[in-house]
Structure 1
C-alpha cells in the first residue's frame, strides 16, 4: 500500500530557523523605532536641530553689534564662462557648521570639534547662524569696529557655544583637498579664536580703523594670530555626512596682481534691516535710526 510522504501542509527544510529570524528582525525593528534609530527618524531629528530656522538680528542703524545673530556670507563669484568655459562660477554660500551626526542625534546640539563648510543653503538656520562676541569686555549692543578683536561663536543654547578657530598648517592638521590653513569649531578660549574685520580696499584700511562695521557690506574676515583671511575654496566641493555637497573652507589670503584680496576672501555680515519682511519700516524704526545716526 503506497503512502504519500509529502503534501503542501508538511514543513520541510530549516523552517524553525526562518521563523526565528523573522521574529528577530521584527524585534530589532521595534527596538530601533522605540529608541529613534530608524533612518526616517534620524532625518526628522536632523531637520529639527541643525536645519531648524533661526531669526537674524535686525540692524536699525546699519552697523554690526556685539551680541548680534548673523550669517557670514560670501557673495557669488563673477561669471567668467565666456573666458573659461570649463569653470563653473561659484554660487553664493554661507559659513556653516558640519557636526558629527551621531553626536548631535543624542545631544541635540553641536559638540566640539566640528568642521565648517560653505553651504549653498542661504536660509538662516542653526548651522549657519553665529553670534559676535567681545574679547575686551565690550557690552552687547555696542558696534563692532574695524580692527577690533572679537570672537565668532555658535548660538549659546542650541549651538553649543563653540568658537571659530584656525591654526597653522601641519602635516597632520589641514583640509583634505586644499591643504591650506584649517578651520574648526572648539569650546576652548585661546588666541587661535581671535578675529578682526578689515576694510575691503587695502588703501582705506588705516582710515577706517575704529569705524563701526557696516552690515550687509563686503568686508575681509582676518585671523589675528596667523594674519590669514577667511576663504572659500571655490573649486573644491566636499560631501558632508548628511548628503549635501558644499564648498571647502580654509584660512588663506588670496591676492590678485594689485595685492588686493580676491573674491573668495570677500564676506558679509548678513542681518535684517528695516524694510525687510521680518522688520517692516515704521515711524518708530525710522525715528530710532535717525536718532542713532545723529548721535
Structure 2
C-alpha cells in the first residue's frame, strides 16, 4: 500500500479519460452549431423577447404597414380569477428554447398578460387587396396580420379555418387560430365597429386605433376571441387560448371576449404603447362634461 500515491492510475482510468475527451469534443461541436442551451436562450431573447417599436398614428387611425399590438382589454365586470388585459402572442411552448428551430409553422397562438411590445406579441398589418401602405384600414375591408419577431427569414400569418374532427382548439374544441407560412383566404380578417347598433353607419370609415372593435375571420365569419377560462403553463406564466367564436349576450351583442383594440405606439415614449399612457381624466370624467360644468 505504501507504493500507491495520488499520482498512481488505478481502476478504469483509461476509459474515464477517453469519456472525458469525448464530452469535450461533443461540447465543442454543439457550440460551433449553436446548439447549446445558453445559445438557444440567447437566440430566443433576441427574437421573441426583443423590444419592438410600435407605429405611431398621427391621425388616430390604423394604417396598412403599421406595427401594432392586438389587445383584448379587461372585462368591464371582472369575475373571480380575472387576469386583466391580454395581448395576442406567439406561444412559447411552440418555440421552446430546447428545440433546434425557434418557431415552426403551422403553430397556435395564445394571449398573454404582458402588454409590453416585444417580438412575440407585435404584428404587421398587411394589405390583401392591393391597397397602398400608409392608407387607413376601413371597417369591412380585408387585411392580414403577420408576425414581427424575426423567427425566420419568412413571415408567419395569422389564420383560421372551419372546425373539423382533426382540426380544433386544444382546450375548448372550438375553431382554432394558428400561424401559417402561406397567405391565402384563410389569412384574411376584417374589422367591425364595437357597437352593433352603429355598425352599419360606420361601414367604410377608417378603423380608429386604441378603440374597441370586433375582428372577424372573413372565410368563416367568426370573430376572434379569448374565452379566458382555457389556459396552459409556459416559461413565463399562463398562456390563454385564442379561438374564433362569436360570443353573443341576451341582446345579440358581442361579449367582452370578442373585444379587441389595435394598440399603436406612444409618441412620447419610443418603447411604449398607448395603453401605457396615464388616463388624462382619472375616474373616467370626460373633458366635455368638465367644460360644460
Q: Same fold (TM over 0.5)?
A: yes
Question: Higher Cα Rg: structure 1 or 2?
Answer: 1
Report the 3-state secondary structure (helix = DSSP H, G, I; strand = E; otherwise coil) of the residue aligned with 2:90.
strand
1:50/1:111 CA distance change after superposition, 3 Å? same
What does residue 277 of structure 1 align with?
269
TM-score (norm 2): 0.82
* 2:4 corresponds to: 7
Q: Which residue of 2 aligns with 1:22?
A: 20
> Which residue is 1:249 aligned to?
242
Unmatched 5+ residue regions in structure 1? 82-86, 280-295
What is residue 139 of structure 1 aligned with on the other side? Answer: 132
Specify whether residues 273 and 26 from structure 1 end up closer, same or farther in structure 2 by C-alpha distance, changes over 3 A only: closer
What is the CA RMSD across the aligned residues, in angstroms? 2.6
Gap change, CA 1:80 and 1:56, over 3 Å in 2: closer
Number of equivalences: 268
Could you tell which deviates more after superposition, 198-207 or 22-31?
Answer: 22-31
Match of 1:121 in 2: 114
Cα separation, 1, equivalents of 2:207 and 2:45: 33
Are positions 1:236 and 2:230 aligned together?
A: yes
Once residues 138 and 7 of structure 1 are traced to their aligned partners in structure 2, the CA distance between those partners, rounded to angstroms, is 85
SS of 1:169's partner is coil
Distance in 1 separating the partners of 2:221 and 2:116:
30
SS state at 1:234 partner:
coil
Instruction: Decide whether aligned partners of structure 1 residues 134 and 111 sit closer, same or farther in structure 2, where only a CA change above 3 A counts.
Output: same
Which stretch of the first structure deviates more once superposed, 31-40 or 115-124? 31-40
- In structure 2, what is the Cα distance between the partners aligned to 1:50 and 1:28? 28
Distance in 1 separating the partners of 2:125 and 2:54: 12
Deviation (angstroms), 1:245: 2.4
Question: Does the 8 Å contact 1:57/1:271 carry over to 2?
Answer: yes
Aligned residue in 2 for 1:189: 183
Tell me the alpha carbon deviations over residues 185-213 of structure 1, each in whole angstroms, 9 at most, x when there is no partner.
11222211111101111111111101111
TM-score scaled by length of structure 1: 0.82
Which residue of structure 1 lines up, in the alignment, with residue 57 of structure 2?
A: 59
Deviates more, 1:147-156 or 1:244-253: 147-156
Structure 2: unaligned runs, 5 residues or longer: 272-293
Cα distance in 2 between the residues matched to 1:15 and 1:70: 61
